[in-house]
A and B are shown apart, each in its own frame.
Chain A
Amino acid sequence: MKTARNFPGLVVGAMSVAMALALMFPQVAVAGDTAWLHVLVDEKGEDGDRVRINLPLNLVESILPLIEEEGFSGGCVSIDSDHLSAEDLREIWSSVREAEGGEYIRVEGVDEDVSVKREGDYLTVEVREDEDGSTTDVSIRIHLSIVDALLSGEGEKLDILAAIKALGENARGDLVVVNEEDESVRIWVDDKNTAD
């Protein structure tokens, strides 16, 4: 019964504590739906160096339009080549887009094998190189929409920002894997903020 009688005081006391807590902890960071780009460079051996980079693609998307450097503006990079123009690239890509899936290029050399394939919505490039007895394997796997976005820029511009957006929307898994005798590199996209 005493509690009931002290009710107004208890309510006011509880409110004061609650307001104090609310003021002390105004916001809680919420994990967004952003995709994460991870880079892992691993030198083999006991003393090998190891580099890990985890980047939220939202962050990259936000800062790219703000970078203004020579040849890079508004999230687009300008191609400055006498041999290959952006228009050439668009034409080549258009042909690839229209073609059916399968292996487009296969080169089998003495010390190098190259294969370019289209598998479903992915373009894959595999290179195997033998040099002085050591082998390097490179595997690149890119969602077609990323190249579409990259080539959507105007004139001689490649739209890096659009490609990053497409990367966040469509790509999950390995983008680049390089395996050398003494070093490996892996670049991939997933929804986790750790590279584990």
Chain B
Amino acid sequence: MKRKNRVALLFLGGILLLVGITAGALASAVMDKGTIEILIQEKGTDGNRISIQVPGALVSAALLCVPNHLIRCEIEDDLDDLGKYLRLVSTVCDELAKLPDFVMVEVDERDEHVRITKEGSRLVVHVESDDESVFVALPLPVVEVAIAKLERCATS
């Protein structure tokens, strides 16, 4: 192979490497935070359907943009209790993240079925009743970002 061709090939490889790293980093940022999903389906022919799917990365970014003093105004009265619960939720998230997927709670009643599971890095709540079907998936990393933000607001 001529020297000129080899340099061109290396240059191409370098560009490929950069594109790969950038794509990977972007995908990682989005996948890390998962997607918040809320799906409510009313039963019956006239049943309404509400479907919300928001990338967790977007929610995390939006949370970081909210000024701390605005949140602090809202939580000022409950700071003592809030700190306690934030630590609790944060610990639960940390511990859940270490665990394999599992069904935490499953309730089968005649007219209602409730299932709370840990699936990958998200907590999923699925309620199926005669009237409606509700599905909520909450990525744990987004919860952690929200907790960190609230803690910052509480201490600022």
A residues with CB within 8 A of B:
5-6, 8-9, 11-13, 15-17, 19-26, 29-32, 34, 47, 49-56, 58-59, 62-63, 66-68, 193-195
Contacts and interface: CB of A to CB of B under 8 A. Distances in A.
B99 A50 contact: no
Nearest to B98: A32
Nearest to B12: A9
Contact of A32 (B6, B12, B99, B108): B99
A56 B107 CA distance: 18
B48 interface: no
A26 B25 CA distance: 10
Given A6-B9, A9-B12, A63-B88, A19 B104 contact: no
B104 A53 contact: yes
A12 B14 contact: yes
Contacts of A21: 24
Contact of B23 (A8, A20, A67): A20
Interface of B: 1, 6, 9-10, 12-14, 16-21, 23-25, 27-28, 31-32, 84, 87-88, 91-92, 94-110, 120-121
Contacts of B121: 29
A8 B14 CA distance: 10
A59 B92 contact: yes
A153 to B, nearest CB: 22
Contacts of B9: 6, 8-9
Contacts of A49: 107-110
B68 to A, nearest CB: 24
Given A6-B9, A24-B24, 16 more contacts: A9-B12, A11-B13, A16-B16, A16-B21, A19-B24, A21-B24, A23-B27, A24-B31, A32-B98, A50-B107, A52-B103, A53-B105, A54-B105, A66-B84, A193-B99, A193-B102
A31 B97 CA distance: 10
A195 B102 CA distance: 10
A62 B95 contact: yes
B107 A62 contact: no
Contact of A19 (B13, B17, B32): B17
A79 B150 CA distance: 35
A55 B13 contact: no
Contacts of A195: 103
Nearest to A6: B9
* Chain B CB within 10 Å, residue with most, of A6, A8, A16: A16
A22 B20 CA distance: 11
Nearest to B107: A51
12 contacts: A8-B10, A8-B13, A9-B10, A13-B16, A13-B17, A16-B20, A24-B27, A26-B32, A50-B107, A51-B105, A51-B107, A66-B87
A47 B113 CA distance: 12
A77 to B, nearest CB: 17
A29 B104 contact: no
A29 B14 CA distance: 32
B16 A62 contact: no
